[in-house]
């Protein structure tokens, strides 16, 4: 069976509570009946509805179970030619390349270095007071 192809304009009309469609990696999902069950709350899906939610989806670590549920809500695929330029870049962007960015690495490393610095400072202060 061939997947139904939707235009971005058609998907963008389904953007409210009770009528939520999202685009994730070029696929269109009708998540309207999943609103009450979504662990992050229905507002997360409502806010992502009617547009490409690929980046939002990738930013959250979804379990294999959650990713398996997606097939139950799949209704077709997006016509990439109808996507606005910014949406097209998000849909075709490889999520793994954004996760390995230098900025993200630095943001994750800063708390570690702050904790290490605080530990060393505490250790140095305690050893200095023991010598007096």
Tens digits of residue pLDDT in 29-59: 999 999 888 888 888 889 889 999 999 888 8
Residue 90 has pLDDT above 60, yes or no: no
Classify residue 21 by burial, with Cβ atoms within 10 Å: 0-12, 13-18, 19+.
buried
Mean pLDDT of the chain: 80
Q: Say how far apart CA 77 and CA 81 lie, in whole Å.
A: 12
Asked if residue 8 lies in contact with residue 84, where contact means CB atoms within 8 angstroms, the answer is: yes
Instruction: Extract the tokens encoding 50.
Output: 């009617």
CATH code for the domain defined by 5-93:
3.10.120.10
**pTM (two decimals):** 0.63
């Amino acid at each position: 069976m061939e997947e139904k192809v939707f235009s971005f304009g058609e998907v963008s009309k389904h953007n409210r509570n009770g009528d939520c469609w999202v685009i994730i990696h070029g696929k269109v999902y009708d998540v309207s009946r999943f609103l009450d069950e979504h662990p992050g709350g229905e507002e997360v899906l409502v806010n992502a509805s009617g547009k490409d939610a690929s980046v939002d989806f990738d930013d959250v670590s979804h379990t294999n179970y959650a990713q398996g549920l997606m097939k139950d809500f799949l209704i077709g695929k997006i016509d990439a030619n109808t996507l606005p330029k910014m949406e097209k870049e998000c849909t075709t962007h490889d999520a793994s390349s954004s996760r390995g960015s230098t900025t993200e690495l630095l943001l994750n490393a800063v708390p570690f270095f702050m904790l290490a610095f605080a530990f060393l400072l505490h250790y140095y202060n305690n050893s200095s007071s023991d010598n007096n």
